[in-house]
Structure 1
Amino acid sequence: MEPSSQGGGFQFEQRDDRLVITHSGSPVAHFVFRDAQVLRPHFAHVHAPGGIQVTRNHPPVPGIDPVDHPDMHPGIWVGFGDISGTDFWRNKGRIVHERFSEPPTIQNGTLNFTTESSMLTADAQKLAQLTTRITLIEKRGAWHLTWDAAFTPTTDGFYFSDQEEMGLGVRVATAINEKNGGLITSSGGKTTAKATWGQPAAWCDYSGVIAGRHVGIMTVPDAANAHPSWWHNRDYGVFVSNPFGRKAMKQGELSRIDVKRGETYRLRHTIIIHASPDAKAPDLQQLLK
């Protein structure tokens, strides 16, 4: 398919397995909806305004990147270590793209699309229909990516279990992980992976300096989500907004969220992909406005 045309704003090219998104000729991200190794839709090759890549290379490059979790941490994704006994985080279950129920369009500078997927167990039994609504806009020099996931069980006994690896995950570029000088900051003012791990927060940011510019990714769970998020944050570059792991995150008793057949559970996040003109860190509160 020929690239969309929208002047100097967002553009996309739809391929058989992905949307390749650019802005004014510079790379933004790939939205991959079919992949032989990562068995769920995801964003890879995510770039901040100005063209600096802020997610880890996918697949990771030996000698440049740590090569752990090569088929679990592609960039930005929604994944779950245990839904009704099936592990969608480690690619035991599959989230299979079926179609674009709302094809990609660009209107007033905003990229929108909606996908329909089936959530399948390892033996191909369907657990739920997943409707994913994506919106991408430019706002105050940053990309604001909204990922709105709606889960509608097609069988009885559907539940989200209690694990660390549950929710919306991000793997940042190797150059800005905490081991290489990057910094995690939470809405409560805590910093570092150790201090923010397992803690509740309205948002977390993971950022650092690449090529003389301060760049990063902030994840903001929607205040309307049914449950607040705890954070599974690590110094090697992953951070996960997790509303399902109360005991796993050492915040109380074992949790379980049941959703009845035909009902819908929504999980919505905004991911703010930002870049400063120099090495100075931005005012994180300003990014939220």
Structure 2
Amino acid sequence: MPYVGVFAALSLALALVLGFLPAWSACCADFTFDEQPSKVVVRLDGVAVASFVYDDAAVGRPYWCDVRSPSGIPLTRSHPPQAPDDLDHVAMHTGLWMSFGDLSGCDYWRCKARTQQVRFLESPASHGKTGGFSVLNHYLKTDSSEVLATEKADYQFCEVPHGYRLQWSSEFRAIDKDIVFGDQEEMGLGVRMVSSLAEKRGQGGRILDSDNRVGAKQVWGEPVEWCDSSGRIHGRWIGITVMADPDNFQVSWCHARDYGLIVMNPFGRKAFSKGEESRLIVSRANPLRLNYALVFHESNSNEDYHEPDAYRDFLEQILQSQRK
């Protein structure tokens, strides 16, 4: 890193620790969207808080990366990963992603088959304290340009207490033949946390779920309403809470790992609970809809931010949307 970059990074860290930077305030912050070649950068009050990458040959699917807290502290692992972050699963664990290890026998999770963004259905648009966009994706068959399924993905941001929320809604349809979602751990909405928040680092990172289970081993394979990964960095309590819509077709099991991975997976009944194997058939006429939300939070302490309150706010937002 150039000397100027090192100095700037150290200055930011010192300012955060000593409290020289003004506290982030939702009352004066707006979302904006900076459209760049192959990606969209989301800014909150001028701070780049997330990047949506829709054309990356090395990964082969759209994804979110460089997700940060409202004041700019990294929440997801750097992409491509750089030390001191862990360097494993480079293409698979980009930050935030939705993918499937078994969709009609094709493996999109491990990047063996491609997901191609076709176009924006709704261009990135800011409405002050809210904003978002939607895209059309094609799931291509392995080693082919033939389309297996389509996905309409909608991403909507809004400000919430102690941070901001991304609501992620996807609708999947078959093209000709029915598609089948299989049963394994690597299915659904994935998050790879910045490595300094990973439990195995021993720096105070914590995983907590909606039934008050603490730790990756306790959370792994359990059905959850939400799961949170958080800890203290630069004197601030920061983290990500991943929440599932109770109206999804199935509860989501949590695939949590101590190296900073959280996956909300509604397809893994056998993989997680040793129950009957999941086999969800989706046709063109009867699409599958999945709805999740992620809260990216920052506060003075873990006592300031309450995950159950964030989940209730999400449920209230769902009810308001249904009334419209």
TM bucket by the smaller chain? over 0.9
* Residue of structure 2 equivalent to 1:150: 171
TM-score for the superposition, normalised by structure 1: 0.94
Percentage of pairs with the same residue: 39
**2:66 paired with 1:30:** no
**2:145 paired with 1:124:** yes
Paired amino acid for 2:209: S
Contact 2:31 2:128 (C-alpha < 8 Å) held by counterparts: no
Question: CA separation in 1, counterparts of 2:72 and 2:116?
Answer: 30
Question: CA separation in 2, counterparts of 1:195 and 1:231?
Answer: 10
What is the aligned residue count?
282
What is the deviation of 1:250? Answer: 2.6
Contact 1:164 1:245 (C-alpha < 8 Å) held by counterparts: yes
Question: CA separation in 2, counterparts of 1:38 and 1:12?
Answer: 23
**2:120 paired with 1:100:** yes
Contact 1:198 1:251 (C-alpha < 8 Å) held by counterparts: no
- Of Structure 1 and Structure 2, the greater helix share is in 2
**2:154 paired with 1:133:** yes
What is the deviation of 1:287? Answer: 2.5
Question: CA separation in 1, counterparts of 2:31 and 2:300?
Answer: 20
Contact 2:29 2:129 (C-alpha < 8 Å) held by counterparts: no
Cα RMSD, aligned residues only: 1.4
Select 1:232's aligned residue among 229, 236, 255.
Answer: 255
**2:52 paired with 1:15:** no
Select 1:52's aligned residue among 63, 73, 78.
Answer: 73
Structure of greater Rg: 2
What is the deviation of 1:280? Answer: 5.3
Q: After superposition, give the CA deviation of every residue in 1:126-182 in whole Å (9 maximum; x if it has no partner).
A: 111110011001111311101101001102130100010000000001110111231
Question: CA separation in 1, counterparts of 2:284 and 2:168?
Answer: 23
Q: After superposition, give the CA deviation of every residue in 1:221-246 in whole Å (9 maximum; x if it has no partner).
A: 11111111001000000110000011
Q: List 4+ stretches of structure 1 deviating above 6 A.
A: none
Question: CA separation in 1, counterparts of 2:301 and 2:246?
Answer: 32
TM-score for the superposition, normalised by structure 2: 0.84
**2:129 paired with 1:109:** yes
Q: Which moved more, 1:158-167 or 1:17-26?
A: 17-26
What is the deviation of 1:108? Answer: 4.2
Contact 2:117 2:137 (C-alpha < 8 Å) held by counterparts: yes
Correspondences of 1:1-289 after superposition (within 5 Å): 8-62=29-83, 64-122=84-142, 123-180=144-201, 181-278=204-301, 282-288=305-311, 289=313
- Segments of structure 1 that go 5 or more residues without pairing to the other structure are 1-6
Contact 2:168 2:291 (C-alpha < 8 Å) held by counterparts: yes
